[in-house]
Every structure is written in structure tokens, then in C-alpha cells.
Amino acid sequence: MHPQMFSQIARRYDLANHVLSLNRDRAWRRILVQHAAPKPGERLLDLCTGTGDVAIEFAQACPDLRIVGLDLSEEMLKVAHEKCARLSLDHRIELIHGDALVLPFGESSFEIVTIAFGLRNLPDRARGLREIYRVLAPGGRAMILEFSVPQNVLARSVYLPYLRYILPRVGGLLAGARAPYEYLCDSILHFPDRATILEELHDVGFRPVGYRDLTLGIATLYWGEKP
């Protein structure tokens, strides 16, 4: 997804996400934070930080965490800056413009790297995972939150029509642009299954790896640890 497409919906991105996920995106972020188990003084990098929701969730949950949020869309980062300032978190969260495939950090720079709803958008997923692994310190955790198709047949039969026909229309109305949500639908349907993502994490070097389905499997939390 081109950064310009995100720029089109930056101002209404949060509202659309809350409504389209039936407000479950907030619960998913809380679960991500709990599973990451941040410790005081650790360094966290949030890739594809967008409007900063994941970085903010971590900052509020762990006051002594050092947080960097990185995104390729300058318009999304503007919204993130405004939100952080409004919540008096601008001194806690450093927001930078950058590419998740060419991270401007040295090896072992962070104890936690997160990416929420962004792995689908990377033009080279394997390279992105290698970059995450590179900047993680030994013992560091990669946490990946991503949309997915339910594995349960009944849940899938309800979710797929919603994804294909309802989400693009409602998202377009709420965000003021339909194309990004048509892309969202297509990218979810073509995203690899859970076993493939675990295999890719394992191939990069993560041990152990695992996943947890959220809300009947419409989202999935993946994780891997750098030995």
C-alpha cells in the first residue's frame, strides 16, 4: 500500500478502525501489550506506527519504557504527534519518518519490536522480518498483530461477506476514501496462513514462535523471540 493512500485517510483512520472492528482494536492492542510484557527501562520500536495507537498503549501501560514509533506516511505521523501531545506523551514517544525495510538503527537496539496491521503492507515481508530480527537484542521479542481470516467454518462464513462487501463501503464512508479499504480486504484475503507466518519467523531465526487468535480469528497475534 502506497504511503499516499494512508495519507488520504489519516485524519479519519482511528474512527474507521474503531467502528469497523466493533471497537475490538483497542482490546487487541491491550492483549499485545500484555503478551509483550514490557519491563522498566526496555527499549521498544513500533513499526508502521500510523497514528501512534500501539506506542501510546505501551507508554500508558509502562511509564519507564523508552519508545520509538516509525512510519513511512508523514500525514499519519502528524496525527500521531498531535495525539501524543494531547495526552502529554510527546516527551515519552519519539516519532520518526522511516522505512521498515531499511531501519535506521544498529543491531540489538531494542528489546521489543511491534508491528500492528503493517506486515501485510510491506512489499518484501522476508526483508522486513530480517530487519526486525537485526535490531532486536538477544532475548528480545517481536510482536506482530495482524488481520486474518477465521479458521472456524461458521465464523468464516459470516466474516468473509462482511470483509468483501460491507467493510469497503462503510470504511469508505467513514474515512472519506474507499480504495484503501478495498485494498485492506484484498490484502487480508491474500495474506499467508498462520503456519506460513510462523515458518517465516522461524526461518529468520526466531525461537520460539507462536500465535494466538483474537475475536474468533479475525485478528491474530504472532510472536517470536530472538535467542
Give me the percent of the chain exceeding a pLDDT of 90.
81
CA distance 225 to 1: 28
The boundaries of the domain holding residue 22 are 3-225
Whole-number pLDDT of residue 92: 97
49 annotated to bind ligand: no
Count how many domains the chain has.
Answer: 1
> What pLDDT, in 10s, does the model give residues 80-102?
999 999 999 999 999 999 999 99
> What pLDDT, in 10s, does the model give residues 57-77?
999 999 999 999 999 999 999
71 annotated to bind ligand: yes
Q: What is the mean pLDDT of residues 136-150?
A: 98
100 annotated to bind ligand: yes
pTM recorded for the entire structure: 0.94
Bridge partners of residue 97, in order along the sequence: 71
Match 485492506 to its residue by C-alpha cell: 184
116 annotated to bind ligand: no
The CATH number of whichever domain residue 177 belongs to comes to: 3.40.50.150
Whole-number pLDDT of residue 18: 73
